[in-house]
Amino acid sequence: MSSAEAKSLRESGHDVLYVNELDRLKGIPDVEHAENAQNDGRFLVTKDVDFGKLRHIDGIPSTGVVYIKLAAESEGNLATRLPEVIKAHEGSLSWGAFVTVDAYKTRARELESVRSGSQSQPRSPR
């Protein structure tokens, strides 16, 4: 996520922790970001494909993930589009959905194993 996207989410009323703004979050392993989000009741917004592996292959639990799967040249309207995507999928993100945003569509995949577990309500993206 870029600083413009973080700003757009904040302007839309989300409480955003942006990794590049906080030294304590820079450089920590992805699994720690997932654990922190889970513990804080937040969901993740990321361009890092590794979060898909952590969730779907390694089975690391976390609150929802919004995975931005866009080439740099396709990100022009992402700051505007991202708050709309989160609003549309906020309920499923609170249950651990993995939402993929690409140039043409948004796809949400709910994880039954996460839905059946106990989770706190997320506040906003990290």
Task: Give me the residues paired with residue 44 across strands.
Answer: 65
* Per-domain residue ranges of the chain: 3-115
| Contact (Cβ atoms closer than 8 angstroms) between residue 44 and residue 125 | yes
The pairing of beta strand 65-68 with beta strand 98-101: parallel
Q: What is the pLDDT confidence band of residue 126, given thresholds at 50, 70 and 90?
A: low
More confident: 105 or 52: 105
pLDDT at 79: 79
pTM of the predicted protein model? 0.75
Say if CB 95 and CB 114 are below 8 A apart: yes
- CA distances 122 to 6, 69, 95, 108, Å, are 17, 22, 9, 17
pLDDT, tens digit, for every residue of 32-82? 888 888 888 888 888 887 877 777 677 776 678 888 887 664 666 787 888
Name the band, by pLDDT with cuts 50, 70 and 90, for residue 92: confident
More confident of the two residues 106 and 60: 106
45 DSSP β-pair partners: 66
Q: What SS3 class is residue 105?
A: coil
Report pLDDT digits (tens) over 5-22.
Answer: 888 888 988 888 888 888
Element counts in the chain: helices (H) and strands (E)? 5, 4
